Amino acid sequence: MEDFMFHVVQLRKFFHLWITLSSHLLRSSSLGISMTLNGNLGIFFMCSLLEGKNFSLEEV
């Protein structure tokens, strides 16, 4: 019985670690995507103002 409980505790620790790391990676990815989009939109806006014409995001 003690051996079974040991495995249950180890499994719970593993799942807790996995959920914690997954949550951290998801937050980091979301932040990176958000910063990238904000940066691209900022560059697009500044180029449009400086050049006096509209650019597509592919051209920036």
Tens-digit pLDDT profile for residues 14-46: 998 889 889 888 888 887 777 777 765 555 555
User: What letter would DSSP give residue 52?
Assistant: S
Query: What distance in Å separates the CA atoms of residue 47 and residue 50, rounded to the nearest whole number?
Result: 5
Buried b (16+ CB within 10 A) or exposed e, 1-18: eeeeeeeeeeeeeeeeee
Q: Where are the beta strands (DSSP E) in 1-60?
A: none
Whole-model pTM: value is: 0.47
Q: State the pLDDT confidence band at 55, using cuts at 50, 70 and 90.
A: very low
List the domain boundaries for the chain. Answer: 1-60
